Amino acid sequence: MKKTLKNILITGGCGFIGVNFVKKAVSEGCNVLIIDKLTYASNISAIEEELSFPNVELLQADICDAKKISQAIKQHTPECIVNFAAESHVDRSISDPGNFIQTNIVGTYELLKLATEYWQKWTSASSHSFRFHQISTDEVYGDLPHPVEEIDLKEKVSCFTEKTPYKPSSPYSASKASADHLVNAWSRTYGLPVTISNCSNNYGPFQHREKLVPKTILAAANLQPIPVYGSGRNIRDWVFVEDHVDAVFKILESGTPGEVYNIGARAEYENISLVSLICDLFETKVPIASHPKNFGGIKCYKDLIKFVADRPGHDARYSIDPRKIETELGWFPVMPMKKGIIKTINHYLTDLEIGSG
């Protein structure tokens, strides 16, 4: 049965996916409380318009701060808590894993503890249902073999399903896997109504510039080297961020408590193929021959690609099977990859002093 969402508490609502979710929630008429630590990865300017609305409030707080979070939950009386708050940059998790352990594991524990206390008291006095939704990642499953290597496997695994065992590779994915296990444990032990979504790689407006898609766009815009790890053959499964947040809304409205839903758009690209696609599409917006910074006679944006030393423990391939959310909840992605990349390029071009075609 579809439920109507009114009061939503969103942690990490100033991050990339979070701001897109905030925009969706506001457009749906929800009363929104955003809790965000406002770190380097936050983008408060992205929701400047939404923050001017009377039904939207921002609280700067760490999800590990139990006192602040508890007070916020009691005052807002949310029908659902959506946990986007996370350290999510794999390279940073390798060089400094401590913050990932603290935010992604300890922070999720604190939220679950407070959500359970609130749910147990609130539901006894209300006819409304409550939901705790955990935003997770396909990286918790580890990786899949590159298609050309599958011939050597005794048992082929083509994509991740909700039944795929967890086998994380990086400190980041291990911390997210730990958080997912806590969420499931709180569901089974305490009866907390929870759902989890494991999504493939996101791209779109407001993504932090350290990520592959904006990094490539901004490097092309400034005619700087475009770094690609190893041979560039690692495969990622991509979904446009607005499709992702639509899927999360579907889960909140119609998902079954205790269930996990994989979110993906069946858009697998080798990293080098995606970077090349961005270069080709960027050419249609800012022709290299007329680029105002092209003093060195660069003939093609692809000439900027530079292969660099591979990342430690670099997963070979991710691939999501989204059939469960498609068949059970009727969610399907609507943004084609090329159209989504063009929309993303246009977003970043608005902040740059170069023209677009």
Give me the tens of pLDDT residue by residue for the chain, a chain 357 residues long.
567 789 999 999 999 999 999 999 999 999 999 999 999 889 999 999 999 999 999 999 999 999 999 999 999 999 999 999 999 888 898 989 999 999 999 999 999 999 999 999 876 655 468 999 999 999 999 999 876 554 444 445 589 999 999 999 999 999 999 999 999 999 999 999 999 999 999 999 999 999 999 999 999 999 999 999 999 999 999 999 999 999 999 999 999 999 999 999 999 999 999 999 999 999 999 999 889 888 777 899 999 999 999 988 888 999 999 999 999 999 999 999 999 999 999 999 986 655 544
Burial of 136 (0-12, 13-18, 19+ CB in 10 A): buried
- CA 68 to CA 148: how far, in whole Å? 51
- CA 337 to CA 242: how far, in whole Å? 12
Kindly report, residue by residue over 212-260, the tens digit of the pLDDT: 999 999 999 999 999 999 999 999 999 999 999 999 999 999 999 999 9
Q: What structural domains does the chain harbor?
A: 7-202+241-265+318-334 (3.40.50.720)
In angstroms and rounded to an integer, the radius of gyration of the C-alpha atoms of the chain is: 21
Contact 168, 198 (CB under 8 A): no
Catalytic residue among 36, 79, 87, 139: 139
At 237, is the secondary structure helix, strand, or coil? strand
Q: Which residues contact 242 (CB under 8 A, 6 or more apart)?
A: 20, 24, 204, 335
Give the burial string for 239-275 (b: 16+ CB within 10 Å, else e).
bbbbbbbbbbbbbbbebeeebbbbbbbebbbbbbebb
172 is an active site residue: yes
Backbone angles phi, psi at 4, to 5 degrees: -90, 125
At 124, is the secondary structure helix, strand, or coil? helix
In this structure, what token pair is assigned to residue 185?
Answer: 């444990």
Long-range contacts of 284-293 (CB under 8 A, 24+ apart): 284/342, 284/357, 285/342, 285/345, 285/346, 285/349, 285/356, 285/357, 286/220, 286/221, 286/349, 286/354, 286/355, 286/356, 286/357, 287/357, 290/355, 291/223, 291/354, 292/354, 292/355, 293/222, 293/223, 293/354
Catalytic residue among 138, 143, 243, 270: 138
Backbone angles phi, psi at 24, to 5 degrees: -65, -45
Q: What is the pLDDT of residue 158?
A: 85
Kindly report, residue by residue over 58-115, the tens digit of the pLDDT: 999 999 999 999 999 999 999 999 999 999 888 898 989 999 999 999 999 999 999 9
Catalytic residue among 109, 118, 141, 172: 172
- CA 120 to CA 192: how far, in whole Å? 9
Instruction: Tell me the pTM.
Output: 0.93
With CA atoms as reference, report the closest residue to 272 among 295, 305, 243: 305
